[in-house]
Structure 1
Amino acid sequence: MPPLAATDYEACLAWQPIRSLHEWERQVLSALIEASSLDAALRSPEALDALRVRDMLDGGMDSIRFVAPQGETKRKLGAAGVAELAYVDVDGVMVSFALNLDQQRDLYEIDAWKVDSSPLRQPPSRRDLTVKL
């Protein structure tokens, strides 16, 4: 199957269920915010509880897209890689997590990339994460 065009991808992504963050995603996001220049209040339990996400269509690498507040449309990537962390999955393959913001500098996505493009085998704990230089 050929890769989806950007508009096709966004249409398919819109069908993904909206959900709360998993505990390991909360840890990754908190560490990414800490590694960035973003407001530390974004890491508060209340702020993390309020976030909603959709799983991105990335072959199981576990990237997530933050759902925009009610009424916001036409969001797009604004600032890529405001913070990046990495860890080594249980299969020995390096995984990178990049925090991206939208054009309004709101949380847009956590882009997970496993260097061999295989699915994530075991989510990291916070202690597994290192700053990616």
Structure 2
Amino acid sequence: MPLTRKPTPQEASLLTRLIHTSALSLPENWRETLSVAPMNDSGMGSLYLFPQGKVIVNRQFGEQVSESQFTDRDGIAVIVSLHTDEQGELFELDVWKTDFNPLISFPEMEW
């Protein structure tokens, strides 16, 4: 069972952006109830997502619902994808820094 935490303000802001550009319909309080756990991705910043803070094991990938790109502080492109599980619930934030190095930081923006 992964150790969960609340998303950082930068993670929550990025998730908000991805959700707003998707067709997802989430409860108003999704940010307050969401828990996350870091994925083992060599420091790129990918997260498992747990709506309502409920850790449910054995969930399966459903589909990619949104994608975006930003530039890390070192000038390297980062591609982020939001995925849902087979039930249509938030599942994971996939982060890929295109040079395969660890992410320095998520963008500082409010959506």
TM-score when normalising by structure 1: 0.75
Q: What TM-score, normalized to structure 2?
A: 0.88
Larger Rg: 1
SS at match of 1:108: strand
Residue 63 of structure 1 deviates from its aligned partner by 0.5
Whichever structure has more helix as a proportion of its residues is: 1
Conserved? CA contact 2:78–2:98, under 8 Å: yes
State the structure with bigger RCO (CA 8 A, min sep 6), 1 or 2. Answer: 2
Counterpart pick for 2:7 among 17, 21, 25: 21
Distance 2:83 2:109 in 1: 19
Q: 1:33 aligns with which of 19, 22, 40?
A: 19
Q: Aligned partners of 1:72, 1:23: CA distance in 2, in Å?
A: 24
Cα RMSD over matched residues?
2.0
How do 1:56-67 residues align onto structure 2 when only pairs under 5 Å count?
A: 56-67=39-50
Unaligned runs of 5+ in 2: none
Whether 1:50 and 2:33 are equivalent positions in the alignment is yes
Unaligned runs of 5+ in 1: 1-13
* 1:1-133 correspondence to structure 2 within 5 Å: 14=1, 16-39=2-25, 41-42=26-27, 44=28, 46-67=29-50, 70=54, 72-80=56-64, 82-126=65-109
Conserved? CA contact 1:96–1:114, under 8 Å: yes
Give 1:11's aligned residue: none
Quote how far apart the aligned CAs of 1:79 are.
Answer: 0.5
C-alpha separation in 2, matches of 1:105 and 1:64: 17
